[in-house]
Structure 1
Amino acid sequence: MKKNRLYLRYKLLFAFFLASAFTLCAHAQTGSIKIKGKVKDAKGIALPGVSIKIKGTQGGAQTSLEGDFVLTAPGNATLVFTFVGFTTQEVPVNNRTVINVVLTDNNQALSEVVVIGYGAQRKADVTSAVTTVKSTDFVTGPVSDAAGLLKGKVAGLTVSTPSGDPNAQSQIMLRGNNSLYGNLGLLYIIDGVPGDLLTVAPEDIAEISVLKDGSSAAIYGVRGSNGVIIITTKHATGSAINQVDYNGNETYSQISKKPDLLTGDDYRRQIAAGTRDPNYDLGSNTNWIKAMSNSFPVSHIHGLTFRGGNDQTNYLASLNYRYNQGIFLKSDHQQITGRVDINHIMLDGKLKFNLGLLQTNFNDHPFNTYDYEQQLKMNPTAPVRMPDGSFYQEPNNFEYQNPVSDIYNTDQPQTSFNSKYNATITYLPVVGLRLSAIGSYTKHGYLNRYFANFDNISTIRDKQNGVADISQGQSVDRYLNLSAEYSKSIGDHRLTLLGGYEYQDNNTFTTQMDNHNFPTDLFGYNDIFTGAALKLGNANMASSQSLTNLISYIGRLTYNYKEKYLLLASLRIDGASQFYGAAHPFGKFPAVQAGWRITKESFMEDQKIFDDLKLRVGYGITGNPPRKSFLAVGLLDYGNSVLYNGQFIQTLSPSQNANPGLRWEEKHETDLGLDYSMFKGLITGTIDAYKRKVTDLLYNFAVPSPPNLYPYTFANAGTMENKGLEVVININAIKKRDFQWTTSFNFSTNSNKLISLSNDIYQTTSDFFTTGNTGDPITTSTNIVRVGRNIGDFYGFKVTGVSSDGKWIYQEPDGTTKPYDQFNHNFNDKQVLGNGIPKYYAGWNNTLHYKDWDFGVTMRGAFGFQILNSLRMNYENTSVTNYNRLKSSEDKVFGTAVLNKTVPLEFNSYYIENGDYWKIDNINLGYTWRKLKSKFVHNPRIYISTVNTFTITKYKGLDPEVDRFGDVNGDSQGLSPGVESRDTYPTVRTFTIGLSASF
């Protein structure tokens, strides 16, 4: 039934697209004449790509590379000439057959509109740290989500993809870490509605704005503490010509760097040398990473966009399909997204309706990183299959198993969907007053299934006769925003007032069940209740429901005096259900910004350097709620069973203390910025310095029990400081008729320090806590968070060399050295070994146009940090003899001796490496046939691109762009960054060829 509903939904969507396509027709005009002409700028340079529309109709044309145009229009028509960066002109035809037009520069850099929270401002009026990236500047090539479009584009925004898994999402952090136990996620606003990156296709995005400072994010209150990303999708526009756009590409992927493991021949050499057991030679020479990889992984993306309409009603509809085949067998990602955007205007433009519909379906096969671990460990002399075609297995070997067999004997499909419906009504009752209402309904559902059949070695070892697991869930988000905005200009004064109310709720329900010991494996997870484990009480079932809501009141004032002095003040009041039971569930989040356009002063009139110079300062407070709800109330959980009156009774025991004093974490941020434009727009950019102070940090404090019912209490007590500098320089280096070159450089630095972790009521037993974990078999923490120190410090044993017999020589915290046999190996012997958070980030973007050719390069890097190379730590030790290891395990350590095989695996400074890198990340080359003389095909473009092209680094691991978040009790919190996991799906390098055209 569920599948039928999905099919029906797509049939209806396809019918709409088909109907739209059939409406594409030529608009005939009676009494028309043929008009030709040329469009130039004030300097006489021809302008290619100028849009020319016949006012009030759907007809139009576009200028050629030489600025020429030809079209047919009525003799009494009016032509509208539009070009980015120039003032729009309306020119009456007056029965002329030749019309030449000169467009004037409108100083677009200052007059263009910048999207901010709950509205937009002219760039000249913006008083906060906001960066906007348009679709023409996005990363070109396959990206996992919308955030991937911004890599290297925004100063202070870190976007990384440390995994090549086709189902992996980007890791995003803005201006460093701001919490220990609070939420770290950014807020995403998509066409005015809160959402996530799964509810928008990258191909549908027109531009992305990043609100970086506290004063701009404060209008979003508790959700804006970690930064706000506003995504604007492509929309229908007035008097749109009926048009169909196609964009598609094919991509080949390869592992960017593979681990260099011992081969079968290396095993046999070691056996001949007497350093490995002869029984380990099984006669083959298997490259296990190759055996579990697709031979030629190819992905593709195809998108169609339909648009049309008139001055009153217009539409845009898109259908996007993407298939991303992973490097490894049975790992892929499939996504279909359909979207409709409809606008209608009534009452002479006073009443506007917008309706948006979105449906996205996912069909994924995730990769189990356990199989990657097995290919690292697997004996390279073992065959993939036996002579009879069956998979090679070692049922009694618990060290490793055949990863290819595990992949084929395991099935784990995941399906999910997002449905989003939103509507906007805007009414302009009088001049200057704007009333609007936005409503949205979003539904998300998923179904994850897993089955290990009878031939899976894990089920054979555990005698389980198949294992099945099914988990599913559904969530519904409802959103409502009501606002009124009034603008008034009186002489040199311009004032805008905004007031609004907002409501959002979420209802999430999940279920999970597992079972084993099936009579047959023919039906897998589809017959989960036939497993015998259920009858014996050894199966598991669980369900949960979560209900949350948020209500908000919003107010903002903006003031402009003589286009010279600028002011913005805002206040948001939030109440969230996460603080149920708290004495103060509401929080107030004010902000103020001021700007001074120095070039508008009389003393700057005669200077010729600066076109615009604006000093701005902002201060704002944002809140951050806990990631979990109901932390303010006492909770009970199921305890042990006790025998009472001959029956076992299930008991309840305290699992959380009540804390009615629980409140928001508050981030107080001051930002000082400078915007500049020099030499008539030749050089533009920004400089921002900021300081954040996060107070009332959430922490799980140990408390005496009794009098408390539970030995831990979540409370607000800590303080964290975060400060940094961001610099952006944009240069229009060459702007000739046939050749243009623009280059942009961004730089940022950030430092993050824990100031305190106690107050008068709640005290920690020490001024630090450890975090991160190496995993088996070492099993120790990797990082430390200490008062007065930066977040991200590695903490372990420091080694300075090895003895002649290959044993570690340690350095004590006091600087003395000790040989291996005299070293205590306890916690007090550990010390800071480096830091996993880069001190500096940089990005360099270049775009060149030569006639119909375009070329772009995106480069980015990170500097001043270290990486824990877990691959070397686990597989570069000669004590590993029962499974495979790296070839470098046979190299001399510190150039002295090969590590002694009696020395066990250990986390120490030898495996901490310099992580500095510079990536030539994205290269693209395209050609557009602007001179193509066709009535049906317009501006076809073919392009090639690469992503993750080349990396310059001294790091010995697979990729220095590692996990920036780390892990605390299974929750990504950014407290143990800089660890390259030994079992992570390796990153990939992609090569893409694509085609786009309009019809």
Structure 2
Amino acid sequence: MKKQLTNFLFLLFMALPWVALAQDLTLTGTVKDQDGKPIEVAMVGIKNTSTLAYTDAEGKFTLKYGPNSILVVSAIGYDKQEIALTNQRTLDIILTGGNASLDELVVVGYGTQRKGDVTSSVSSVKSEDFLKGTVRDAAQLIQGKVAGLRITTPSGDPNATTQINLRGLNSINGSQNPLVIVDGVPGSITTVAPEDIESIDVLKDGSAAAIYGTRATGGVILITTRKNKNSENKTTVEYNAYVNQQRIYRKPEMMDASDYRRLISQGYAYEDLGSNTNWIDEVLQNPLSHNHNLAFFGGNYKTNFTGTLNYRDWDGIMLKTGQERVALRADLNHEMYDGKVKTNLQLISTTTTSNQGGAGGWAWRQAMIRNPTDAIKNADGTWKESNAYMYDNPLGYIHETINDAKTKENRFSGSVEYRPMRDLNFKLLASRVQGDYLSGSATTFQHVNTTKNNMNGTASRYTSANTENLLELTGNYVKTFNDHRFTLLGGYSWQDNTSENFYAYNYDFPTDAYSYNKLEAGTALQRGLASMTSYKSKWQLAGFFARLNYVFDNKYMVMASVRREGSSTFGENNQWGTFPAFSLGWNIANEEFLKGTNTISQLKLRAGVGVTGTIASSPYQSQISYNFATGQGAFIGGKWVPGFIPARNFNPDLRWEKKTEWNAGLDFGIYKNKLSGSIDFYTRTVNDLLYYFSVPVPPYLTSSMMLNAGSMKNSGIEVMLNYAAIQKKDFSWNTTLTFSTNKNKLIDLSNDQFDVTTEYFDAGYTGEPIQVSTHRVQVGGPIGQFYVLKSVGVDDNGKWLVENKNGEIIPIAQATPEDRQFYGNGIPKFNVGWNNNLNYKRFDLTVNFRGAFGHDILNMQRLYYENPVNKAYNVLKTAYDPVYGKELKNDLVYVSHYIEKGDYLKLDNITLGYTLPKVIKGINNLRVYGSVLNLYTFTGYKGIDPEGVSYTGDYTFAPGIDHRDKYPNTRTYTLGLNVSF
């Protein structure tokens, strides 16, 4: 018996391993592509069973398997792989056959999408392709890198930002700017430091942007900040810094003291005041500025954090101008319950302090026109002034003006993501953005306000506050089976914004020691001459949205979305609107008849249509309002109320502009994407334009009101080419070319209720003393046309000869306003970008070009300072050059002679870097670099910089004016350091 028991126990012991093997084993692993990048939503299953798992964002999976199992791994765009399992507990799997560029994730509205599945016009720029060196904001990182997105830098002011326009002008009184989303929360291109950005994605066409409804007519820019991607439990520290020096890009060649004295000797009526002063040099400096960015990345795949601190101290080339900025970002992520719940908390805090002094447009004008024989100061040390009209000492203006401002913005956001099952997840996002602005300005007793205008000092304060709340709930369902993949998105969004401001101004102070800190001390207040204003507004936006993406066999793709949105900014009869979108894609490269070729690696046709909107610039345009006016009154609520007059008419039918855009595109790649790119054709029509219409009084209370009237059309072509020209072990060269065209037309300015009697409106302004408009926008014509007297010669008396409306040549004295004609256009027909990245061993070199062609510029400096009619003002050295072979002796007039071709090709950026070998323990990467921004411009334009013109804001319909009151553009030299530990 004992022997039998012993034998039984021995057999049981020998059988235990086989019993254990008969039980299910747990397998964990990762699925990656050939480049080592994780593949998300790869399907991992046991063959001939229902056991199935999907990889997460890091390519990880977990499943159980039994004996004699075969693991099947597949993902769209990759070759399927089968692996025999023999007691493995961990497994790292590499899938081949995938196209890496197609498997990149592109950020789209409310989520991400595989690039190969995108059916709309979307451009994505990663951090490694950003513009190198000194950049002022996020937009400049992608300058010249996205076809159809025009980004310009019209001002060298350190407090200015870039200007952005996507696919032409799309509104008259609505916003032209794209919607900017930072990590899911609406923001601006200055919300985060450029060094803190991981990628920028641009939703260009209507089918991509329609998911954002009324805010998306100008396009959508999605900014994704840098986050910790390490799954290991370790901390990484990065430090990036640079120092730069700025110089004026090109100095205007004004007459100097020797020119004055030469002309005086020839009988010209200039005045020699006995000094030698280069006023432009006196108001300029070549400042040194610096920027520092410190980043921390730590944690593991369950809990990780990112913290960044950015400090910028920039001085401008004009005296007493500068900006100091401190930006802090903290991002914390945590997941629990086996990854079913993920949370995120983010704080972005930015404080910007700016100093403008008296510098800027007016001081720059005075520096140009100041007599070069005049002294800076009088013998007693006071600023030397003159009683000439609009003629001030620029240095006195700069130094005797205080103009300080501080901006604070705190952005708090948090999200909770819950995944009850593998294919379904819900996300709740909430954010609050609080912004505060405080400025103060004052002029001293030595300022011209006192020395010339007897104001005894002036002072003002301005403050504003803005609070914006956002709440979004989204649900996302992804299902993959066989050759089918569905992605269904649904959501709700609520946004509200409250803004308020206060302003007070006073003058005639007993001392200038108070600056702007004791406004009540000015005696103008007691005389009723001070001013004070305040304002508050609020708007709300609510939206319901849904989107369906379907991919079959990695060949055929469909996207359909709709947003139903309501806004408080419109009339009570039109507060809700619907914004649908639909697009199709056909991946021809995956068809059987092309699979055998080694030439074509990508060939996808896209086509789509989408509807977006533009909201009014003010939240109360549909409602009647009243302004206070002494001695006047109005009937309000059936009663006479003294002191109030109507300021706006009631319009309950006011609604948003509606843009319908069609887009057709082709994405292609040949020779394993050695050459790749895209071509897009688009046409967009904006109906129900927001337009201030003239209306009769009575029955209306005021003579104009904002209506929906008219339509506008834009069309164009966009091309982007990427070429991996050289790919060797020690040397590589990648080059990218972007090209875009845009053609616009104002179709109509009427609606069903009102017909315009004058089918045009004038825009732009020359300023004093000419005081005429510069542009005319005509129904049936393009936007941006200059409207001017066409100069064709100069008579024997030095006066202009112009062409009248009948084509006859007449003296300018006989010309009438009706003789003005369209002459040139300020909007470029073509925009190009050419970006090059070269690497040789440890050296890296980037060379970037940008250009704009087919447009004209009104050179205001030549208009005013190349005509020596007023001998009290300095002029350009070219002022006495012959015009049509004769000396010009004309009054200041706006003629076509001063409209120049504005074509340019700019060598925009050159950056040379060197990465040092890893010789210091603990330092993972150490790179030094040098960069030059705005290095050289190939152009025939005679002004400072052909890019120094504005195309947005007040100049939307008067583009191409190079104003005389401007902050000149600069060239920037940079030395920098990148190091990580």
What TM-score do the two structures reach when normalised by structure 1? 0.87
User: In 2, distance between residues paired with 1:311 and 1:145?
Assistant: 31
The aligned counterpart of 2:977 is 995
Q: 1:861 aligns with which of 845, 851, 865?
A: 851
With over 3 angstroms needed to count, the CA separation of the structure-2 counterparts of 1:388 and 1:635, relative to structure 1, is: closer
| Conservation of the 8 A alpha-carbon contact between 1:701 and 1:763 | no
Q: 1:956 aligns with which of 935, 942, 946?
A: 942
Q: 2:613 aligns with which of 619, 623, 631?
A: 623
1:764 to partner: Cα distance: 1.1
Aligned partner letter, 2:651? N
1:198 to partner: Cα distance: 2.7
| Conservation of the 8 A alpha-carbon contact between 2:866 and 2:878 | yes
Greater mean deviation of Cα atoms: 447-456 or 237-246: 237-246
User: In 1, distance between residues paired with 2:739 and 2:103?
Assistant: 26
1:917 aligned onto 2:899: no
1:375 to partner: Cα distance: 0.5
Aligned partner letter, 1:979? I
With over 3 angstroms needed to count, the CA separation of the structure-2 counterparts of 1:102 and 1:898, relative to structure 1, is: same
Aligned partner letter, 2:748? S
1:898 aligned onto 2:887: yes
The aligned counterpart of 2:332 is 342
1:537 to partner: Cα distance: 1.1
RMSD over aligned Cα, in angstroms?
2.3
What TM-score do the two structures reach when normalised by structure 2? 0.89
Aligned partner letter, 1:355? L
User: In 2, distance between residues paired with 1:430 and 1:972?
Assistant: 52
1:764-783 equivalent positions in 2, closer than 5 A: 764-783=756-775
Listed one character per residue, the Cα deviations across residues 316-365 of structure 1 (whole Å, up to 9, x for unaligned) are 10111011110011000110001111111101111101111111110101
User: In 1, distance between residues paired with 2:461 and 2:341?
Assistant: 49
1:638 to partner: Cα distance: 2.3
Aligned partner letter, 1:897? K
1:462 aligned onto 2:448: no
User: In 2, distance between residues paired with 1:649 and 1:348?
Assistant: 68
The aligned counterpart of 1:79 is none
The aligned counterpart of 2:251 is 258
With over 3 angstroms needed to count, the CA separation of the structure-2 counterparts of 1:778 and 1:643, relative to structure 1, is: closer
User: In 2, distance between residues paired with 1:519 and 1:388?
Assistant: 22
The aligned counterpart of 2:593 is 603
Aligned partner letter, 2:979? A
User: In 1, distance between residues paired with 2:969 and 2:938?
Assistant: 15
User: In 2, distance between residues paired with 1:232 and 1:105?
Assistant: 29
Aligned partner letter, 1:369? G
Aligned partner letter, 2:978? S
1:979 aligned onto 2:961: yes
Aligned partner letter, 1:276? A
Listed one character per residue, the Cα deviations across residues 106-127 of structure 1 (whole Å, up to 9, x for unaligned) are 4211111111111111111000
Secondary structure class of the residue paired with 2:420: coil
1:989 to partner: Cα distance: 0.2
Q: 2:922 aligns with which of 916, 927, 936?
A: 936
Listed one character per residue, the Cα deviations across residues 740-768 of structure 1 (whole Å, up to 9, x for unaligned) are 11001010000010011113311112111
1:383 aligned onto 2:375: yes
Secondary structure class of the residue paired with 2:338: helix
User: In 1, distance between residues paired with 2:96 and 2:926?
Assistant: 29
The aligned counterpart of 2:318 is 328
| Conservation of the 8 A alpha-carbon contact between 2:732 and 2:840 | yes
The aligned counterpart of 2:864 is 874
Aligned partner letter, 2:335? I
The aligned counterpart of 1:660 is 652
With over 3 angstroms needed to count, the CA separation of the structure-2 counterparts of 1:727 and 1:515, relative to structure 1, is: same
User: In 2, distance between residues paired with 1:597 and 1:50?
Assistant: 23
1:512 aligned onto 2:503: yes
1:416-815 equivalent positions in 2, closer than 5 A: 416-579=407-570, 581-641=571-631, 650-815=642-807
1:661 to partner: Cα distance: 1.6
The aligned counterpart of 1:268 is 261
User: In 2, distance between residues paired with 1:651 and 1:426?
Assistant: 56
| Conservation of the 8 A alpha-carbon contact between 2:775 and 2:786 | yes
Aligned partner letter, 2:873? Y
| Conservation of the 8 A alpha-carbon contact between 1:181 and 1:973 | no
Aligned partner letter, 2:768? D
| Conservation of the 8 A alpha-carbon contact between 1:267 and 1:276 | no
1:237-316 equivalent positions in 2, closer than 5 A: 237-240=229-232, 241-277=234-270, 280-294=271-285, 296-316=286-306
Aligned partner letter, 2:657? E
1:529 to partner: Cα distance: 1.0
Aligned partner letter, 1:429? P
User: In 2, distance between residues paired with 1:254 and 1:978?
Assistant: 24
With over 3 angstroms needed to count, the CA separation of the structure-2 counterparts of 1:860 and 1:272, relative to structure 1, is: same
Secondary structure class of the residue paired with 1:197: coil
User: In 2, distance between residues paired with 1:562 and 1:417?
Assistant: 51
The aligned counterpart of 1:95 is none
Aligned partner letter, 2:968? P
User: In 2, distance between residues paired with 1:393 and 1:663?
Assistant: 53
1:819 to partner: Cα distance: 2.6
Secondary structure class of the residue paired with 2:135: coil
User: In 2, distance between residues paired with 1:588 and 1:682?
Assistant: 42
User: In 2, distance between residues paired with 1:451 and 1:549?
Assistant: 37
Listed one character per residue, the Cα deviations across residues 716-763 of structure 1 (whole Å, up to 9, x for unaligned) are 120111000001110011111111110010100000100111133111
User: In 2, distance between residues paired with 1:560 and 1:156?
Assistant: 28
With over 3 angstroms needed to count, the CA separation of the structure-2 counterparts of 1:291 and 1:859, relative to structure 1, is: same
Number of aligned residue pairs: give it: 896
Listed one character per residue, the Cα deviations across residues 433-488 of structure 1 (whole Å, up to 9, x for unaligned) are 01001111111101110010111122222211100010011111111110111111
Aligned partner letter, 2:910? I
1:86 to partner: Cα distance: 12
Secondary structure class of the residue paired with 2:688: strand
| Conservation of the 8 A alpha-carbon contact between 1:870 and 1:980 | yes
| Conservation of the 8 A alpha-carbon contact between 1:811 and 1:817 | yes
| Conservation of the 8 A alpha-carbon contact between 1:597 and 1:615 | yes
1:402 to partner: Cα distance: 1.2
| Conservation of the 8 A alpha-carbon contact between 2:230 and 2:301 | yes
1:964 to partner: Cα distance: 3.9
User: In 1, distance between residues paired with 2:633 and 2:843?
Assistant: 82
Identity over aligned pairs, percent: 43
Q: 1:363 aligns with which of 353, 362, 366?
A: 353
1:950 to partner: Cα distance: 0.2
Aligned partner letter, 2:334? H
Aligned partner letter, 1:253? Q
User: In 2, distance between residues paired with 1:508 and 1:399?
Assistant: 36
1:238 to partner: Cα distance: 4.2
| Conservation of the 8 A alpha-carbon contact between 2:685 and 2:712 | yes
1:199-218 equivalent positions in 2, closer than 5 A: 199-218=191-210
| Conservation of the 8 A alpha-carbon contact between 2:633 and 2:642 | no
| Conservation of the 8 A alpha-carbon contact between 1:238 and 1:313 | no
Secondary structure class of the residue paired with 2:949: coil
Structure 2 residue runs of 5 or longer lacking an equivalent are 1-32, 39-76, 84-91, 635-639
With over 3 angstroms needed to count, the CA separation of the structure-2 counterparts of 1:861 and 1:288, relative to structure 1, is: same
With over 3 angstroms needed to count, the CA separation of the structure-2 counterparts of 1:386 and 1:86, relative to structure 1, is: farther
User: In 2, distance between residues paired with 1:933 and 1:834?
Assistant: 60
Aligned partner letter, 1:874? Y
Secondary structure class of the residue paired with 2:519: helix
Secondary structure class of the residue paired with 2:735: strand
| Conservation of the 8 A alpha-carbon contact between 1:320 and 1:338 | yes
Listed one character per residue, the Cα deviations across residues 497-550 of structure 1 (whole Å, up to 9, x for unaligned) are 111000111111100001111111112111111111111111111111111111
Specify the structure having the higher radius of gyration (Cα): 2
User: In 2, distance between residues paired with 1:311 and 1:497?
Assistant: 27
Aligned partner letter, 1:950? Y
Secondary structure class of the residue paired with 1:534: coil
User: In 2, distance between residues paired with 1:305 and 1:287?
Assistant: 45
Q: 1:927 aligns with which of 914, 919, 924?
A: 914
